[in-house]
Structure 1
Amino acid sequence: MTRLIAADEVPEGAVRRVRPNGLEAVAVCRIDGTFFATQDRCSHAKASLSEGWVEGHDLCCPVHDGRFDVRDGRPMCFPATDPIRTFPVQVVDGVVFADLRAARTDQEVSG
């Protein structure tokens, strides 16, 4: 598991960009008290998803409003058609960790 961010640095309904140990950036969301981690790069526009916003369980791209379900990475509306990677998350002692080696979906992903 890779340390991402202190839990209190991610407000409810928000997304934060984390670049752990020089690895590819990860978007960390808090929705209804649960943390989710996805790739930060939109599979359509290649924009930073952490510069977008959260609506329900959708992470919304700031460029063309593509939306992805943070629970499994599936695209929720056009123009996004390819899923994004999602990662298993654990919170330990107020710190968010993710297994960045394992994607939560079996689908092929872009990016």
Structure 2
Amino acid sequence: MRFQKVAKVSQIPEGRGICIEWQGERIAIFRIGQEFFAIGDTCTHAGGSLSEGFVEGYEVECPLHGARFELATGRAVCGPAFEDVPSYRTRVVGEDVEIEVP
């Protein structure tokens, strides 16, 4: 495993997410204060973009049907989705946000 730069800190708005693509995978990167989280961008229920979802606390709600996922783990915490999304470790190096990738 290695870390890959995916964004600048300034590109990720507080309390919101952005979507990046890494080797064909859509990954949502979120910022809560000075913490950054990375999970799969595609809701496991109906394919909604989680980076466009509503962040509340440390969870994101899919904008299509309201499924909720933990930002730290990708765990589905509220239906209609019951399958988790992938999660990725993050770190900040200077102004760069990096995620751990295979």
Structure-2-length-normalised TM-score: 0.91
SS at match of 1:19: strand
Q: Counterpart in 2 of 1:107?
A: none
Instruction: Give TM-score, length-normalised by structure 1.
Output: 0.84
- 1:6 maps to what in 2? 8
Give unmatched runs, 5+ long, in structure 1: 102-111
Larger strand percent: 2
Any idea what the Cα deviations from partners look like across 1:49-81, whole Å, max 9, x if unmatched?
112121111111111010000111111111111
Which residue is equivalent to 1:79? 80
Aligned to 2:38: 37
Match of 1:105 in 2: none
Question: Residues of 1 paired with 2:4 and 2:26: CA distance?
Answer: 12
Task: Tell me how far apart the structure 2 counterparts of residues 31 and 91 of structure 1 sit (CA, whole Å).
Answer: 13
Unaligned 5+ segments in structure 2 are none
Structure 2 Cα separation of the partners of residues 94 and 45 of structure 1? 34
SS of the equivalent of 1:45 reads coil
Structure-2 separation of matches of 1:19 and 1:4: 9
Give aligned-pair identity as a percent.
Answer: 35
4+ aligned runs moved over 6 Å, structure 1: none
1:1-111 map, 5 Å: 1-20=3-22, 22-101=23-102
Q: CA deviation at 1:24?
A: 0.8
- Higher relative contact order at CA 8 Å, sep ≥6: structure 1 or structure 2? 2
